[in-house]
């Protein structure tokens, strides 16, 4: 069977350039791959193209699909390829490329491609977010996530990101939105059930992988090959306590159960029935609670 790769490219991704893409194409071709390129133009394109590609049979089937964009692009690719036989991988073309850092895929494109070519295909778990519609006539929406999801402050920051500023400032747009959220802090309490235990907090970050925001090792015990998710739970009453919580997380105190305002627990299922809290999935805005969160084993074939 001949080797072939479909590279799905988001040309608006933070570190995209024609030179970086040309390097990826050249390196794959040097290893004997036929290379097809697909450029996205809007949200949903990557997922739709992936679904089309994984449905192909025989000579039209690809040996792998590679996402060359940010974490939102790989999220679409993962959702499109979930439960198929086609393996996927990722190149670091995004602003922070969280999954690449989690998988040890370097920013050097030639090195990254060589790692993918020589990599192992793992059956990994995907986290799931499912809406809980109030009206029985409205069907629930399910979204899979590879790295992380969040409810509360960071999701509100994602919701508030100015797309025009993001195009020029990248991660700076998230920082600016985060500052705005901090200045207008919402300290409403989220009531949730985690594996049957009831917990109240202000913000929760749900990790399927170890990384958050690029370089923060938020959930060191997480592993995409494991179905266990990790919830980093923030409990604060004002701006100073939130800042203290973030500082303690950066020091890793939330994992050691030494933080006053943040802690982390492994779990299998979560339910948030309160309405109106913002939700993000792999850094892209998803919607609002109520939601159910879980994990599906062996949901995706991932090369790294």
CA distance 304 to 290: 34
CA distance 263 to 259: 6
One domain, residues 86 and 48: yes
pLDDT for the residue numbered 171 = 65
Note the Cα 13 to chain centre separation in Å: 15
> Can you name the residues that pair with 304 across neighbouring β-strands?
none
One domain, residues 146 and 67: no
One domain, residues 166 and 145: yes
Q: Does residue 174 sit within a domain?
A: yes
Can you tell me the mean pLDDT for 105-122? 97
Q: Is the pLDDT of residue 101 over 70?
A: yes
Beta strands (DSSP E) in the chain are: 4-9, 34-39, 64-69, 88-92, 121-131, 142-145, 148-151, 190-194, 197-201, 203-207, 211-212, 216-217, 229-234, 262-267, 270-272, 278-281, 284-288, 291-303
Which tokens sit at 173?
A: 């747009």
One domain, residues 109 and 134: no
Name the percent of the chain lying above pLDDT 70: 94
Q: Is the pLDDT of residue 44 over 90?
A: yes
Please indicate, yes or no, whether the overall pTM of this predicted structure exceeds 0.95: no
Q: Does residue 303 sit within a domain?
A: no
Q: Report the CATH number at residue 102.
A: 3.40.50.10330
CA distance 205 to 155: 9
- Report DSSP letters for 181-208, one per residue: HHHT---PPEEEEETTEEEEESEEEEES
Q: Is the pLDDT of residue 4 over 80?
A: yes
One domain, residues 181 and 49: no
CA distance readout (Å), 110 to 89, 113, 130, 276, 295: 14, 5, 38, 44, 33
Question: Of the residues 83, 100, 119, which one is the last residue of a structural domain?
Answer: 119
Helices (H), 150-290: 153-159, 163-169, 171-183, 239-250
pLDDT for the residue numbered 161 = 80
Better-scored residue on pLDDT, 181 or 26: 26
pLDDT for the residue numbered 219 = 97
CA distance 299 to 247: 34
CA distance readout (Å), 247 to 148, 174, 243, 262: 20, 18, 6, 10
Helices (H), 7-62: 18-30, 45-54
Can you tell me the mean pLDDT for 119-140? 89
pLDDT in tens, 252-272: 999 988 899 999 999 999 999
One domain, residues 159 and 251: yes
One domain, residues 187 and 85: no
CA distance readout (Å), 46 to 65, 81, 138, 152: 11, 10, 26, 27
pLDDT for the residue numbered 30 = 98
CA distance 254 to 217: 11
Residues in the chain, total: 304
pLDDT in tens, 160-194: 886 656 666 566 677 788 888 999 998 899 999 99
Domain assignment of residue 136, given as a range: 126-296
Q: How many domains does the chain have?
A: 2
One domain, residues 240 and 277: yes
Q: Under a CB-based contact definition with an 8 Å cutoff, are residues 73 and 52 in contact?
A: no
Q: Report the CATH number at residue 174.
A: 2.60.200.40
Q: Does residue 283 sit within a domain?
A: yes
Q: Does residue 166 sit within a domain?
A: yes
Tell me the pLDDT band of 97, cut-offs 50, 70 and 90.
confident
Q: What's the mean pLDDT when you consider all of the chain?
A: 93
Rounded to a whole number of angstroms, the distance between the first and last alpha carbons of the chain is 21
One domain, residues 131 and 37: no
One domain, residues 219 and 166: yes
pLDDT for the residue numbered 279 = 97
Name the percent of the chain lying above pLDDT 90: 81
One domain, residues 279 and 157: yes
Q: Is the pLDDT of residue 155 over 90?
A: yes
One domain, residues 112 and 61: yes
């Amino acid at each position: 069977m001949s080797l072939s790769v479909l590279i799905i490219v988001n040309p608006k991704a933070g570190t995209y350039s024609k030179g970086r893409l040309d390097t990826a194409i050249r390196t794959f071709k040097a290893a004997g791959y036929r290379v097809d390129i697909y450029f996205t133009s809007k949200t949903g394109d990557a997922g739709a193209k992936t679904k089309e590609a994984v449905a192909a049979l025989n000579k039209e089937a690809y040996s792998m699909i590679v996402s060359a964009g940010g974490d939102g692009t790989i999220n679409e690719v993962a959702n499109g390829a979930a439960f198929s036989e086609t393996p996927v991988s990722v190149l670091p073309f995004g602003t922070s490329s969280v999954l690449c850092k989690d998988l040890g895929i370097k920013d050097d494109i030639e090195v990254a491609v060589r790692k993918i070519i020589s990599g192992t295909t793992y059956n990994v778990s995907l986290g799931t977010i499912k809406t809980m519609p109030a009206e029985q006539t409205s069907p629930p929406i399910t979204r899979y996530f590879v790295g992380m999801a969040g409810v509360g402050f960071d999701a509100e920051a994602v919701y508030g990101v100015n797309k025009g500023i993001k195009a020029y400032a990248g991660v700076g747009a998230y920082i600016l939105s985060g500052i705005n959220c901090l200045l207008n802090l919402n300290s409403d309490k989220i009531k949730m059930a985690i594996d049957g235990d009831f917990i109240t907090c202000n913000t929760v970050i749900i990790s399927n992988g170890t990384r958050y925001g690029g370089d923060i090792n938020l959930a060191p015990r997480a592993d995409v090959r494991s179905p266990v998710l990790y919830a980093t739970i923030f409990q604060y009453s004002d701006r100073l306590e939130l800042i203290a919580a973030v500082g303690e997380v950066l020091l890793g105190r939330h994992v050691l159960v030494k933080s006053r305002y943040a802690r982390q627990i492994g779990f299998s299922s979560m339910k948030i029935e309160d309405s109106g809290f913002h939700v993000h999935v792999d850094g892209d805005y998803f919607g609002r609670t109520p939601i159910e969160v879980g994990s599906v084993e062996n949901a995706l074939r991932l090369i790294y």
